[in-house]
Structure 1
Amino acid sequence: MPEYYPMPMFVKLPVKDIVKAANWYQDKLGFQKLYTFNDQSGSPIMMHIRRERYQDLMLIQDKHASAGSSVVINLLVKDIAAIAEKTEEQSIVSPPAQKPWQAVEMTLKDLDGHKLTLTEPKPNGESFQDVMTKVK
């Protein structure tokens, strides 16, 4: 049974096809569907999905949805290589690459064009504090 808790912050994403979008997030990124709100005709209008604790998204049905270019959602993951392997090439904006902040990152676009950066920690023996001190 999923855990329900007050969320201090979450993201709402307008999507053109809520079922297709939810399936993409589930199949590619490992999100789980928690619940769906339907309109009076029984069509889904909002779906709450979660990957891990505090990685919640609210998919909002909007036939006129368009993604902006100024917001990128970042998710901490443990399996970036496996995600890259099962993600179609046209969804990958930038492939997995080592970053100087002790992480491997990859950026994707979902079916509606929303950008997501996946970050997998890859410590190199230095403490995070030491890395941050060097870049100040």
Structure 2
Amino acid sequence: MTEPTLDTGITTDLYPMPAFLTIEASNLERTVDFFVNGLDFVSLFTLPGPDGGPMLVHLRRWRYQDILVRRGDPQPGTGWSISFAAEAEELPALALQAPGTVDGPTDTPWNTRDLTVTDPDGYRIVFTARRPAGERDEAFSDEIRRLAAEQAGNGAPGESRGAGRP
């Protein structure tokens, strides 16, 4: 099966991301523009917030080079985190053994369960897992698939428009 791609050759398929960067941005549009127009990333989809404005933008350059940009109020030296894929079942034990400040595991509006550990320098390391079956908001999952396909302009998920990058 061929992966869906944009005209740029960037794959638009939705896959579990083994690691990705999350950035809080005081001006989401400016930050997205920086990555899209300055660093050749593409916007896969935008998740609208309760006020209708963008809450989260998923950017990608190549396969497994994903950045999630969230609306936020970053403070100097903060406003970013690195996220690693995890299994929901491992998060409680990891929370008990983790050094530093621990937050979670907590469920997010985007169907993940996250454990955040802050190291001594204030960097946030997030272990993020897909919520277990039966605990997911399936309507939300359907909406993300619809938004991704609509905003990528390539029709339904699974349709292909060319060869993908690595």
TM-score, structure 1 length as denominator?
Answer: 0.47
TM-score, structure 2 length as denominator?
Answer: 0.39
- In terms of fraction of residues, the more strand-rich structure is 1
Where relative contact order (Cα < 8 A, 6+ residues apart) is larger, the structure is 2
